[in-house]
Chain A
Amino acid sequence: MATLSASRGSTGGVPVSAQGGRRLDLNLDADELATCVACGLCLPHCPTYRVSGEEGQSPRGRIALMREVAKGAAITDEFVDHMDSCIQCRGCETACPADVPFGKLMEETREAMVSGARYQPLWRRLGYRLLGAPRTLRTLSALAALAQRLGLLPRRLNLPHLPLRRGKVPLGSPTGGGEAVWLFTGCVMDAWMRDTHVSTARVIALAGGEVMLPGPRAACCGALAIHAGLRGDAKRLALRTMDAMPGQAPILVNSAGCGAALKAYGELIATPSAEAFSRRVKDIHSWLAPRMSLLPATVAAEPEVVAVQDPCHLRHVQRAHLPVREVLSQFAVVVELDDEGLCCGAGGAYSLLRPAEAAAVRERKLAAIRRSGAAKVVSANPGCALHLAAAGVNVTHPLDLLAKRLEETP
């Protein structure tokens, strides 16, 4: 005779906790944890399940593991590894018919692991802190750029071509009197991809916006810290960022990951002012799409063919990936990838921390790009762009492409 369990959360046999070992209080909401009905529809949308085929590397499996530990099972190295291997792309959330808040459960689990399972060693924590220190970050970045040119950086680091000099982001607008908007500049993007900010500011100005920059206090959105489970660090960065962009003006973001993080301040800080701040945040494409008609005509004899790579935090978290197409379709031929927005493997710091898995995940994206036939790929997230470029993909930010096209237009 067999049994039916009361819910999908429990497993049969001997409780694993009977075997001793480290316990960990995950502090997860029991209702949220119970939402998963184990249907498995998330599995094919999970990049790490796609490359490993392992339940423990899938959203359903990770939730089952959280449930075991929440029930009192001892944590193991395998548990920590399965949690750490999640890219936090949240593709599973879009696929989930039951609306399981997987991203939240994973962030909270990692936070618990930081305090109770020696997760995030000191060197990692220092790395995340660095992101909030723009001057140090810029200095180190310049040194790295120099070292790169001298051939001193090992190739296996797979770093992109780092810039030695950075352009100046134009403020305001040529005519003045436009709609005042903040352009959030961020950390790594500002250090390595300043040109994209320059392009973005130019396009905003042409579309009737008056660009304001937040300055060094809004040094980092805190996304990477919160993904790492360093909630305290993330909160400090969030408060500084909010402080740096006061008022009512919309906050435009050209990095999908940062945009998603800023939009989540309402939940992270949980104050009315944080909620109000989050409501002001817009992905640049969402702001731009209805204003495209204000731009000078960008008629090209031969519109360029580009494949759109949807950053996960634009498609699955902000769910604002369609405006990118609206913007692009006015001056380029847009080709869709056939992988239903599966993650590329970048995942913020993931590609540095787990390079083998990140590369394996990327292989699927590269295959989809090859199938699309497009020679150029656009990505609205710096992390994805760097990760894909490191594999030889010709990748551009949509705003860089647009700015270039506007420049070429007489």
Chain B
Amino acid sequence: MKRAAKAAGVGLPSALIADLRAATSPDRVRVDPLERAIYGRDASLCVGDEPAVVVFPVTPEEVAEVVRACNRHGRPFVARGSGTGLAGNAVPLGEPVVIVTTKLNKVLSVDAGERVAWVQPGVLNLDLSRHTAALGLHYAPDPSSQQVCTIGGNVATNSGGPHCLAYGVTNAHVLALKVVLPDGSLAQLGGLDPEPAGYDLRGVFVGSEGMLGIATEIAVRLMPDPPEVATLLLDFMDVSAGASTVSDVIAGGLVPAAMEMMDANAVKVVEAFVHAGYPTDAAAVLLVECEGLPAGVKASVDLITETGQRNGARTVRLAADDVERDLLWKGRKAAFGAVARLAPDYYLHDTVVPRTRLVEVLEKVYEISARHNLTVVNVFHAGDGNLHPLLAFDSRTEGVMDSVHAAGEEIVLASLAAGGVLSGEHGIGIEKRDLMGHLFSQADLAAQDRLRACFDPDGLANPSKVLPSPSGCGDLRPQVKVPAGAWV
């Protein structure tokens, strides 16, 4: 691609840029102001700084060289995949070097016998499952953004997804990681053997939001495609009937592969996009999937149908074939984007509450949104108690941002009050960093920071995320500039 390698302009760190060009190649180091501007964002509303430089390495060695260059210049760095993060996890703070991993997009090997694949971090989640489909294997964690999010990003945020109800989140599917540590050295964490020696650094790295280093090769577990799949759509005339069905199914001794709920607003926008025949007059629909061997699936379908009906389900629809199943899922997975049909802006929350408190917290969410005059859409992983209240609004309305902030904070605090946690799958990032104190004590946070400092004593890897600052003793991180005008 023809692209003039411009000399660094005024105010740009020219020595760093020269080093980065030497570490990669001139056409993969970008300093154009517009190009930097678009790497200042992800899919969230969080705003950070513009990156100083954007780099596109194509090999793990280049990643290491870039990180070493950052170390030499004392410059922070942030790894970024597809930019679908919803908590500002990869939004740059402190004018860092943004290291884009999307060009590292090879499936390196697939061992069908051992059911393991080594992939580079830029491989798209769904692409991996497509790659292994012919072998009858798939990668289980399936975030709603799975067609676009990268495996590297999934590792950073320990992504979930509807099917994690039965199969567990990303951490349960990552066996080993080859990483570039924040000082630029290389290490392997975990292994393909079941009990690698020492502390579970693999487990610690997954979900660390890019603050413990950059994964350049990832060994993931592949799962065999189930012999039988049944997808059910149940619809209810009130939300609590749907939520009770979820609790009753679980208490009845069944963990379906997925249990997803959408409320009335969600059903309307989704149906307008996919035309899957979702009942648009329902107060809630429940999408349930059962997988496994035929008799077990049949028994599960019966139990769910019966439980649903006992709770007042109006209809129970069983997807007739793969086409119908895909359509139902497409609606669920595109729900957030489809909200643009209601209003041009949205703010998506992510909290988890104990399943038995779902109804109570949902009612609070409706009450809070109504009080702030905001439209709320609920699409969530009901089986996990993982709520995703989505506030839809038009940012051009005067004063609306204040309402959005206030309502958002109330929703998070209501979830915590019900015994929940801050995030189920989006992570803390910038968005919830300053709420960490509501969940953890100073001593808890100091212990987390102690772990972080073992990996990154100089605080160069994705600084100022996750842990509120100062997070206790031994904070060696340089003070980074954070824009004014606070969230919370």
Contact = CB atoms under 8 A, between A and B. Distances in A.
Touch between chains A and B, by CB atoms below 8 Å:
yes
Interface of A: 1-8, 10-14, 16, 19, 31, 34-41, 43-44, 52-56, 60-61, 64-65, 68-69, 73-79, 81, 85, 96-100, 338, 356-357
A41 B344 contact: no
A174 to B, nearest CB: 41
A40 B80 CA distance: 14
B46 A78 contact: no
Contacts of A56: 34-35, 38
A243 B55 CA distance: 53
Nearest to A37: B340
13 contacts: A1-B486, A3-B483, A3-B486, A5-B45, A10-B47, A12-B483, A13-B48, A13-B49, A34-B345, A39-B43, A44-B127, A44-B148, A68-B34
B337 interface: yes
B45 A4 contact: yes
Contacts of A54: 56, 100, 102
B375 interface: no
Given A2-B486, A19-B33, A37-B345, A53 B47 contact: no
Given A4-B405, A7-B395, A39 B84 contact: yes
In order of increasing CB-CB distance, the 8 nearest A-B pairs are: A53-B102, A98-B340, A97-B337, A1-B486, A12-B47, A97-B338, A13-B50, A7-B395
A97 B345 CA distance: 13
Nearest to B483: A3
A11 B91 CA distance: 10
B39 A55 contact: yes
Please classify the interface of chain A as helix (H, G, I), strand (E, B), loop, or mixed, using the class held by over half of its residues: loop
B50 A98 contact: no
Contact of A35 (B1, B2, B336, B344): B344
B110 interface: no
Contact of B37 (A5, A39, A73): A73
B162 interface: no
B204 to A, nearest CB: 25
Contacts of B32: 76-79
B59 to A, nearest CB: 14
A179 to B, nearest CB: 32
A14 B83 contact: no
B487 interface: yes
Contact of A11 (B1, B47, B102, B345): B47
Contact of A44 (B56, B124, B433, B486): B124
Contacts of B371: none
B405 A73 contact: no
A35 B341 CA distance: 9
Given A11-B37, A78-B35, 16 more contacts: A1-B486, A1-B487, A4-B431, A12-B49, A35-B340, A37-B346, A39-B43, A41-B148, A52-B103, A55-B38, A76-B32, A81-B2, A97-B335, A97-B338, A98-B341, A99-B340
A13 B480 CA distance: 13
B486 A40 contact: no
Contacts of B487: 1-4
Contacts of B396: 34
A203 to B, nearest CB: 30
A68 B38 contact: yes
Report which residue of A12, A55, A100, A356 has the largest number of chain B beta carbons within 10 angstroms of its beta carbon.
Answer: A12
B334 A6 contact: no
A36 B42 CA distance: 13
Report which residue of A4, A10, A36, A81 has the largest number of chain B beta carbons within 10 angstroms of its beta carbon.
Answer: A4
B485 interface: yes
Report which residue of B41, B122, B130, B482 has the largest number of chain A beta carbons within 10 angstroms of its beta carbon.
Answer: B41
B152 to A, nearest CB: 12
A40 B102 contact: no
B338 A11 contact: no
Contact of A39 (B9, B48, B100, B336): B336
Nearest to B30: A78
Contact of B103 (A38, A53, A85): A53
B145 A39 contact: yes
Contacts of B42: 38
A2 B47 contact: yes
Given A7-B345, A11-B50, A37-B337, A43 B486 contact: no
A153 B145 CA distance: 47
A279 to B, nearest CB: 23
B339 interface: yes
B454 interface: no
B83 A55 contact: yes
A40 B4 contact: no
B33 A8 contact: no
B147 interface: yes
